[in-house]
Structure 1
Amino acid sequence: MAAAKPAQNGRPTPSAPEWRVTVAEGASVTVEHEAGRAARAWAWLVARLLAFGDKALGFGGRVWRIGADDPRRAVHGLKVGLALAMVSVFYYTRPLYDGVGGAAMWALLTVVVVFEYTVGGCVYKGFNRAIATASAAVIALGVHWIASKSGDKFEPFIRSGSVFLLAAMATFSRFIPTVKARFDYGVTIFILTYSLVAVSGYRVGALVALAQQRVCTISIGVSICFAICVLICPVWAGQELHRATARNMESLAGALEAIVEGYFLADAAEEEASGDKRPSSSNATEGYRCVLNSKASEDSQANLARWEPPHGSFGFRHPYGQYRNVGAAMRHCAYCVEALAGCARSAEAQPAAPHGGHSRRHLAGACTRVAALCARVLREASASVTSMTASGILDFAVADMNAAVQDLRDDLRALPSGLLLAGAGSAASTALLVDAAQLFTVTSLLIEVSARVEGVVDAVDTLASLANFRSADDGKPAESATKEQSMISSDSEESGGNRTTMKALE
């Protein structure tokens, strides 16, 4: 029921009506309130369970994609489990346990810390751990013999002094670049092993037996790691470095071509009207970033590849260090491509000048041809690295690129006296000058990119010479003819693509 508020000064107050509900003992109100809280709690619990299920499914999907992208990662986990299972036999089997004693646990620890994804990483850690353990044990035994002969009064001082001196010198040696790159892990194990053996020798009588057990169990663990890592689905750091170098060249070529085409096709009026404009793929234009971020990976893989035994086409003294030079040349080129991409993005963000399109279309053909030929040179160098064959047409591709660069320079010199000054008297001369400055910057960067591409080619030629790449004439005649035919067809496709681009720009 509704009731109005009492009147004030004889006049009723115009307020909203009040609703009053009479409930016996208030029981029904209490039951509804409790039921509402229980429903909200149940809804909250269901929502949390659904959210947890979604997160679990998302995590499972990411884990599945990681394994699907590279199944060798899953195989690596199985290999580590197999190595630990084999080492644990020395601990569970009584005859083997009696042979190595309680030190069998060191074999398990060795497998955990030594087993790596690549063969080079496993050999690097295993070799360092074995040599460091053996050398530290021998030096500790020598110091123990000297200390035992000096009497009980001087023995603690000799042991402590030796630990101080050797630990200080070994730690300082880690700052030496060569030691840091190749033996850093071994120096750490040396300090650990010597300190444990030297200090425990003061209270342990059978120090020789302790050192012998430690060396024996670590050797067992290292041997099992080597056998499983090399014999079961090996992953070679040298091959990973080789493939990454070729893949980065392909990415750099695709990024250069996509950026230049996107810049010169941005203002094509006929393309916009017909709807046939080809938007540059973001993945293609960002391909140079993987080259810029590859230095740490290349250095690590090159250091690990030196420890690997000969395998396949990679000999004992394969020039893995030259891959660093190839990567440095590609990064030198990628920096210029990054600047070129920045200019292209800034040009897209600004309104086009009234007469700027004439200047851009005038240089579009020469610039796209230079970019296409630079990409062709990089792809040919990538194919040479992939097949480990000295390319017979790489020099001709570089010559075509240089000829295209010279044509671009000639067109650039003729531009100011022709098309650029055509709109100098218009009201939008400022916008025209800005557009012309951007065009000159892009053209200059493109010329610089072509010069740096030659640096990449020189580095690849040096790699081919040091690694003794096969000559292109060593293959069968049929294979040579097939390769030449494929190159001719690719050249015709490139020229056809350039003609299509020119038609769109005209």
Structure 2
Amino acid sequence: MEVEKGISSCEEVGFSPWWSFFMTNLEKLHLKVKKTSGDDPRRILHSFKVGLTLTLVCIFYYVTPLFDGLGSSAMWAVLTVVVVMEYTAGATLCKGLNRAFATLLGGALGLGVHHIAELCGDKGEPVLIGIFIKKRYDYGVVIFILTFSLVAVSSFRVENIIPLAHQRLSTIALGVTTCLFISIFVFPVWAGEDLHNLTSTNLEKLANFLQGMEKKYFGGDLQDRSYFQSYKSVLNSKASEDVLVNLAKWEPGHGGFGFRHPWNQYIAIGAPTRRCACIMDSLAGFITTLDKSATIIGSDPQPTEELHVKIRSACADMSSETAKALSDLASSIKSMSAPAAARYHVAAAEAAAERMKETIAENSAVAGIVHVATIGLLVVEITRSARDIVGAVEELARLAGFESNEAVNKAAVKPLADGESQQTINIFVE
């Protein structure tokens, strides 16, 4: 009876619903953290890096000897960490350096305005200070205006303004330096590597679509369309590429990426890659429309059945060769070596395209093969886009100094017989 009374009393004060609500949200948080760590474990490390940075900066606030040197302005260092610390090292460098230089310039200009305003007397000083405060534009200018306004406006009430500007600059420099050190030297996340991997992954996705077309659709399996989704993320990759390119330029040399690595060339690769994905989207949409109208390659009666088979075979060859070319480009970017056989695969795909065009031109019953010809011509356009991608990747290999194919695919074979000189055999792998 006493236990029941205790339970009822807890329910009366509303303890049980709150406990259930707390446990439910705790479980949701656990699942979210687990999903995040599974998708990208680096984000979990980033959270620990932010905590470590805040801990280091807070030492200047809680340790008395350090606090005496900075005073209450040490809180600016904590706020700087919160604002500047970003996921990638490039983003942290970008915001950190912008904040540091903007603080320096804003403080210097604020001191100048303070001295100019003093010449205008007590009545003219606030008017002149108000005129100098302008509209914000980007992050660097925002911090510039913030520091400038802080120093300039404070000068109206504070007699000795130089220590204020000095404390502001010192604490910002402290926070920025701590953020940069942690971002670059403690499990760094490089925007350049993410851009490099994104470019190769996009090419792999295009290759997966073409492999699915060759093995499934042109192979006779008209039901499995899972590969239709592989290219869609490529269509919306421009924003991510632009951001990563901008951040990668701020990063120091790391791994296989030198200080003057040609980051802009990744944009040149991304343009034909997305164009190729757009054509794939048109092809997938056209095939879906044909399915709804119950029209597929090879469904028309004679005399176009043989022609359908020829076109389907040519499309399968184009898809296969183009997929091999894109796969070779993706692997060459990953290994940072010049593409080995991509241009040969594209040439083979273009040869198949020419055969298909000749086959269509020789046929007089255009109405009976119009849907087949449309699919074939879309595959031809994909092949042309792949040729542009090959040229862009080869240019990247040249500018970045990727290792040549001969160095990658060359092996030394020593004969078994004694007394014979060592021979070198070049083995080229497709």
Give the TM bin, normalised by the shorter chain: 0.7 to 0.9
Matched, 1:157 2:127: yes
Question: Which residues of 2 match residues 126-137 of structure 1 at below 5 A?
Answer: 126-137=96-107
C-alpha change, 1:302 and 1:337, in structure 2 (3 Å) is: same
Question: Which residues of 2 match residues 347-358 of structure 1 at below 5 A?
Answer: 347-352=290-295, 353-355=299-301, 358=306
C-alpha change, 1:363 and 1:319, in structure 2 (3 Å) is: same
Look up the equivalent residue of 2:404 and give its one-letter code.
S
Taking the aligned partners of 1:293 and 1:281, their CA distance within structure 2 comes to 21
Matched, 1:396 2:344: yes
- Asked if structure 2 preserves the Cα contact closer than 8 Å seen for 1:292 and 1:331, the reply is yes
Which 5+ residue runs of structure 1 have no aligned equivalent?
1-37, 175-183, 269-276, 422-432, 488-506
The SS at the match of 1:315 is coil
C-alpha distance after superposition, 1:30-55 (max 9, x if no partner):
xxxxxxxx9xx9xxx99999999777
Partner of 2:396: 463
C-alpha distance after superposition, 1:421-472 (max 9, x if no partner):
8xxxxxxxxxxx4x73221110111111111111111111221222122211
Deviation at 1:477, TM superposition (A): 2.8
Deviation at 1:354, TM superposition (A): 4.6
Partner of 1:376: 324
Partner of 2:114: 144
C-alpha distance after superposition, 1:353-412 (max 9, x if no partner):
451755432322111010011111111111121111112323322222222222222222
Taking the aligned partners of 1:48 and 1:99, their CA distance within structure 2 comes to 46
Partner of 2:4: none
Q: After superposing the two structures, state which structure 1 stretch, 83-92 or 341-350, moved more.
A: 341-350
Partner of 2:170: 216
Taking the aligned partners of 2:314 and 2:265, their CA distance within structure 1 comes to 34
Partner of 1:442: 375
The SS at the match of 2:373 is helix
Look up the equivalent residue of 2:183 and give its one-letter code.
C
Taking the aligned partners of 1:80 and 1:411, their CA distance within structure 2 comes to 63
Look up the equivalent residue of 2:151 and give its one-letter code.
V
Taking the aligned partners of 2:412 and 2:121, their CA distance within structure 1 comes to 80
Task: Decide which of 235, 255, 272 is 1:292's aligned counterpart.
Answer: 235
C-alpha distance after superposition, 1:277-309 (max 9, x if no partner):
485352x32111111010110000001111111
Look up the equivalent residue of 2:108 and give its one-letter code.
V
Taking the aligned partners of 2:22 and 2:222, their CA distance within structure 1 comes to 42
Taking the aligned partners of 2:412 and 2:139, their CA distance within structure 1 comes to 48
Question: Which residues of 2 match residues 79-228 of structure 1 at below 5 A?
Answer: 79-163=49-133, 167-168=134-135, 171=136, 174=137, 184-228=138-182
Matched, 1:387 2:331: no
Which 5+ residue runs of structure 2 have no aligned equivalent?
1-7, 414-423
Look up the equivalent residue of 1:96 and give its one-letter code.
L
Deviation at 1:258, TM superposition (A): 1.5
Cα root mean square deviation, aligned: 2.9
Taking the aligned partners of 1:395 and 1:386, their CA distance within structure 2 comes to 18
The SS at the match of 2:156 is coil
Taking the aligned partners of 2:315 and 2:300, their CA distance within structure 1 comes to 21
C-alpha change, 1:257 and 1:139, in structure 2 (3 Å) is: same
Partner of 2:421: none
Look up the equivalent residue of 1:380 and give its one-letter code.
D
- Asked if structure 2 preserves the Cα contact closer than 8 Å seen for 1:254 and 1:285, the reply is no
The structure that has the greater radius of gyration is 1
C-alpha distance after superposition, 1:62-103 (max 9, x if no partner):
431211221111000000000000100000001000001110
- Asked if structure 1 preserves the Cα contact closer than 8 Å seen for 2:218 and 2:313, the reply is no
The SS at the match of 1:478 is strand
- Asked if structure 2 preserves the Cα contact closer than 8 Å seen for 1:132 and 1:190, the reply is yes
- Asked if structure 2 preserves the Cα contact closer than 8 Å seen for 1:261 and 1:280, the reply is no
Taking the aligned partners of 2:31 and 2:399, their CA distance within structure 1 comes to 44
Taking the aligned partners of 1:445 and 1:191, their CA distance within structure 2 comes to 54
C-alpha change, 1:475 and 1:450, in structure 2 (3 Å) is: closer
Taking the aligned partners of 1:89 and 1:302, their CA distance within structure 2 comes to 35
Partner of 2:224: 280
C-alpha distance after superposition, 1:237-272 (max 9, x if no partner):
01100010000000011112313544334xx4xxxx
The SS at the match of 1:154 is helix
- Asked if structure 1 preserves the Cα contact closer than 8 Å seen for 2:213 and 2:319, the reply is no
Deviation at 1:230, TM superposition (A): 0.8
- Asked if structure 1 preserves the Cα contact closer than 8 Å seen for 2:214 and 2:317, the reply is no
Q: After superposing the two structures, state which structure 1 stretch, 135-144 or 383-392, moved more.
A: 383-392
Look up the equivalent residue of 2:294 and give its one-letter code.
P
Taking the aligned partners of 1:240 and 1:327, their CA distance within structure 2 comes to 14
When the two structures are superposed, what TM-score results if normalisation uses the length of structure 2? 0.86
Look up the equivalent residue of 2:153 and give its one-letter code.
V
- State, as a whole percentage, how many aligned pairs show the same letter: 39
Question: Which residues of 2 match residues 329-344 of structure 1 at below 5 A?
Answer: 329-344=272-287
